[in-house]
């Protein structure tokens, strides 16, 4: 392709300028002591001036800069008035970034028009275009409720709830039944959890411990004996057989709990709760519409392991940054531990779903559908343990990613407004769809990669070179340069981080790529996926295990490297053709998959260090 149309080239350069400036603006806004509206208006005003001047300078033509300027301004205004809770800075950011999918769509259209592609290639490009067109309309709402929501969104609902927690009524002391499910857990671990519950600063509660299907008596008998020592408010049940995994245990607890209890709290076997956990949030249940309250997941004993620190920062953004933004639209959900639910609401929806991999988030769908609201907070009121091996981390992450897709298969009519068992608000529908399709872009890239390879290989062997425009290369370079800054800011929004934290978090994130893809795709092809518990026993270092649980990713890395080598034989870097671009793409993807082996080895190394 000799050249591209002027409009798409302008769009690509504008997207490049906005990509650079939007990251710079986020950093400035984050560190600015005064965040009143004059600051975001000034920041985005400067963005428009720089973008307009840049395009006018590149083309020596002022007229070329007007269309992207008008579209960006108009988009920002529309987003501000159409997305509830969005602040001025968030609206400006969305207006600036909307041009990325627009520019890529225009570029693909030019390639399609100026290259004689086979039917399969035309269909592939159309599929990619449809994806980017949909993202133009859907992604802004997703971005507003992303890792940077703290910068983009106002939080009046959270602030009102926090005020309500301080308005305690001395006569409102409902009985709380704390349910602690466990299966083949280390006794000392559960006993420590029980000891923390024993000193909760709340006068009216019981603890129901349900050990389901543990074969080894040496694991559950010490827990039973400790419950007896702690007194009558602690009751222990060993049930065997009991189906339904964790949900089955929780449903059993609903049957045997003190029926005078109005609130059910769920605490995992490894979580050490803070003394004021119940007392702090119970005032919110004075509102009869409140069906559940969820506090943030958090973890302990990761600081001495470099790779576990990386895993920690991979786990936490969702709980500290994303779910609190969902909460502003009453679209958040419970996440399995350190939560409280209204018992009457639980009974109305029929208890916990024993078919679900993520019974915790699933129940929130049904609670919302019958009119209950919930509150989710970023505050930490208890800490558990992060799995110590890649095997355990992958099992946990697979369950957390496959579960929402299962929920979509079960509740898709409800998400689309076609259900007979209640209704969700528009925001709740959008956020549930986002929850289910969080990994769709990653899975789509993986699925289309072989087809893209075949198409581009065919074009090279057929002597039909596709030259990549300088404007697109500029866009990719700027995205690459700014990504580390965006990555750092995401972590910095949670807490202070070091460069080492960022590096190991990047490795952890890349190491789970195949797990995320598999977690999204597999539920569409298989039903009744098995629920795997997270092993909390102290692991021992085992290098062969590192290889065993990274074999698939290592094979995928080698396949991608092979594709990159093939593309290099057809590549040209002056000018840059599509084969050169794909050679770089397949190389980076191969390195990402190779991170699983690296992370596995680092986890085993850290285990060996801790044990010695």
Q: pLDDT per residue over 118-131, tens digit each?
A: 787 888 888 888 88
> Tokens at residue 104, please?
């890529």
Residue 421 has pLDDT above 80, yes or no: no
471 closest CA partner among 19, 110, 6, 12: 12
- φ/ψ of 184, rounded to 5, equals 50, 50
pLDDT in tens, 3-51: 445 788 899 999 999 999 999 999 999 999 998 989 999 999 999 999 9
Spatial distance between the Cα atoms of 597 and 554, rounded to a whole number of angstroms: 7
Higher per-residue confidence, 512 vs 536:
512
Show the CA angle centred on residue 103, arms to residues 101 and 109, nearest 5°: 100
Predicted confidence at residue 238, as pLDDT, reads 96
User: Higher model confidence: residue 467 or residue 262?
Assistant: 262
Helix (H) or strand (E) holding 545: helix 543-548
Cis peptide before 430 (omega within 30 of 0): no
**pLDDT at res. 139:** 77
Residue 419 confidence (pLDDT): 72
Averaged pLDDT for residues 170-187:
95
> CB–CB of 462/135 below 8 Å?
no
- The answer to whether 291 and 373 have CB atoms below 8 angstroms apart is yes
The residues with which 264 forms a beta bridge, in sequence order, are: 177, 341
The label of the residue with tokens 């408010």 reads 233
Which helix (H) or strand (E) is 570 found in, with range? Answer: none
Average pLDDT for residues 218-225, to the nearest whole number?
96
CA distance 604 to 599: 9
Q: How far apart are CA 164 and CA 157, in angstroms?
A: 11
CA-based max dimension of the chain: 83
- Does 1 score more than 50 pLDDT? no
Q: Which residues pair with 313 in a beta bridge?
A: none
In which band, very low, low, confident or very high, does the pLDDT at 141 lie, cut at 50, 70 and 90? confident
Q: What's the pLDDT at 5?
A: 59
Sign of CA dihedral 86, 92, 95, 97: negative
**Which of 213, 210, 218 is closest to 268 using CA atoms?**
210
Query: How open is the CA angle 38-40-44, to the nearest 5 degrees?
Result: 120
Residue 167 is predicted with a pLDDT of 82
* Under 8 Å between Cβ of 212 and 248: yes
**Would you say 572 and 466 are in contact if contact means Cβ atoms under 8 Å apart?**
no
Q: pLDDT value at position 185?
A: 94
272-273 and 382-385 as β-strands: parallel, antiparallel, unpaired? antiparallel
Closest residue by Cα to residue 518 from 386, 394, 391: 394
User: In degrees to the nearest 10, what's the CA dihedral of 197, 202, 205, 209?
Assistant: -10
User: What does the alpha-carbon distance between residue 200 and residue 274 come to, in Å, rounded to a whole number?
Assistant: 7
pLDDT of residue 528: 81
Bridge partners of 290?
Answer: 373
Residues 6+ apart with CB under 8 A from 33: none
Average pLDDT over residues 194-223: 96
**Which helix (H) or strand (E) segment is 332 a member of?**
none
Three-state SS for 166?
A: coil
Residue 394 corresponds to which tokens in the numbers above? 């992958």
Instruction: With beta carbons less than 8 A apart as the criterion, state whether 132 and 101 touch.
Output: yes
Q: Mean of the per-residue pLDDT values for the chain? A: 92
Q: How confident is the model at residue 2 (pLDDT cuts 50, 70, 90)?
A: very low
Which band of pLDDT confidence, cut at 50, 70 and 90, is reported for residue 590?
A: very high
d(CA 354, CA 531): 10
Give me the percent of the chain exceeding a pLDDT of 70: 99
Helical packing angle, 88-97 and 38-59, nearest 10°: 20
For the stretch 149-168, pLDDT in tens is: 999 999 999 999 999 998 87
- Alpha-carbon distance 602 to 607, whole Å? 9
For the residues 492-500, what does the mean pLDDT come to? Answer: 89
Mean pLDDT over 460-469 rounds to 82
| Whether the Cβ atoms of residue 489 and residue 26 lie closer than 8 Å to each other | yes
Spatial separation of the C-alpha atoms in residues 355 and 357, rounded to whole Å: 7
Among residues 26, 102, 108, the alpha carbon closest in space to that of 71 is found at 102
Mean pLDDT (whole number) for 298-309: 94
| C-alpha closest to that of 101 among 11, 1, 21, 24 | 11
Categorize the per-residue pLDDT at 540 as very low, low, confident or very high, splitting at 50, 70 and 90. confident
What pLDDT does residue 4 have? Answer: 46
Q: Is the predicted pLDDT of residue 335 greater than 50, yes or no?
A: yes
Q: Which of 145, 66, 466, 172 is nearest to 329 (CA)?
A: 145
Q: What is the pTM of this model?
A: 0.93
Helix (H) or strand (E) holding 182, with range, is strand 176-182
């Amino acid at each position: 392709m000799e050249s591209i149309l002027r409009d798409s080239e302008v769009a690509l350069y504008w997207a490049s300028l906005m990509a650079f400036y939007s990251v710079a603006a986020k950093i400035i806004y984050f560190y600015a002591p005064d965040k009143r509206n004059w600051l975001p208006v000034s920041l985005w005003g400067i963005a428009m001036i720089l973008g307009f001047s840049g395009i006018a300078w590149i083309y020596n033509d002022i007229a070329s800069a007007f269309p992207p300027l008008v579209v960006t301004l108009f988009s920002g205004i529309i987003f501000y008035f159409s997305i509830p809770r969005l602040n001025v800075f968030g609206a400006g950011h969305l207006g600036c970034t909307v041009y990325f999918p627009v520019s890529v769509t225009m570029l693909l259209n030019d390639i399609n028009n100026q290259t004689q592609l086979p039917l399969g290639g035309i269909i592939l490009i159309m599929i990619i275009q449809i994806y980017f067109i949909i993202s133009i309309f859907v992604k802004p709402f997703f971005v507003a409720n992303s890792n940077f929501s703290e910068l983009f969104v106002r939080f009046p609902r959270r602030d009102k709830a926090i005020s309500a927690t301080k308005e305690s009524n001395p006569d409102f002391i409902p009985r709380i039944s704390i349910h602690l499910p466990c299966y083949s857990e280390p006794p000392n671990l559960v006993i420590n959890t029980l000891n923390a519950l024993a000193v909760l600063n709340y006068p009216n509660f019981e603890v129901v411990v349900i050990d389901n299907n543990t074969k080894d008596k040496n694991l559950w008998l010490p827990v039973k004996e400790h419950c007896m020592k702690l007194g009558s408010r602690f009751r222990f049940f060993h049930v065997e057989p009991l189906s339904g995994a964790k949900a089955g245990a929780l449903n059993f607890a609903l049957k045997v709990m003190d029926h005078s209890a109005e609130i059910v709290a769920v605490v995992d076997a490894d979580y050490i709760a803070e003394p004021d956990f119940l007392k702090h949030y119970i005032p919110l249940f004075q509102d009869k519409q409140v069906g559940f309250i969820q506090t943030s997941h958090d973890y302990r004993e990761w600081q001495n392991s470099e790779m576990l620190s990386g895993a920690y920062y991979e786990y936490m953004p969702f709980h500290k940054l994303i779910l609190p933004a969902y909460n502003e639209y009453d679209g958040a959900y419970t996440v399995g531990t350190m939560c409280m639910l209204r018992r009457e609401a639980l009974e109305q929806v029929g208890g916990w779903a024993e078919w679900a991999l993520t019974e915790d988030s699933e129940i929130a769908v049904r609670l919302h559908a019958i009119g209950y609201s919930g509150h989710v907070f970023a505050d930490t009121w208890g800490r558990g343990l992060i799995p110590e091996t890649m095997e355990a981390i992958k099992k946990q992450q697979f369950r957390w990613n496959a579960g929402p897709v299962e929920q979509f298969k079960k509740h898709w009519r409800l998400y689309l407004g076609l259900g007979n068992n209640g209704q969700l608000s528009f925001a709740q529908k959008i956020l549930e769809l986002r929850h289910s399709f969080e990994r769709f872009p990653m899975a789509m890239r993986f699925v289309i990669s072989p087809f893209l390879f075949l198409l581009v290989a065919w074009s090279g062997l057929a002597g039909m070179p596709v030259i990549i425009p300088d404007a697109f290369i500029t866009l990719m370079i700027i995205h690459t340069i700014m990504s580390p800054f965006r990555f750092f800011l995401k972590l910095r929004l949670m807490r202070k981080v070091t460069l080492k934290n960022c590096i190991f978090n990047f490795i952890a994130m890349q190491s789970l790529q195949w797990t995320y893809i598999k977690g999204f795709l597999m539920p569409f092809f298989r039903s009744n996926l098995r629920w795997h518990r997270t092993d909390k026993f102290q692991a021992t270092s085992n290098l062969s295990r590192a290889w065993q649980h990274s074999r698939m990713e290592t094979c995928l890395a080698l396949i991608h490297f092979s594709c990159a080598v093939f593309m290099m034989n057809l590549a040209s870097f002056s000018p840059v053709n599509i084969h050169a671009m794909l050679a770089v793409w397949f190389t980076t993807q191969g390195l990402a998959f190779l991170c699983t082996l690296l992370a596995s080895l680092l986890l085993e190394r850290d285990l060996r260090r801790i044990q010695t």
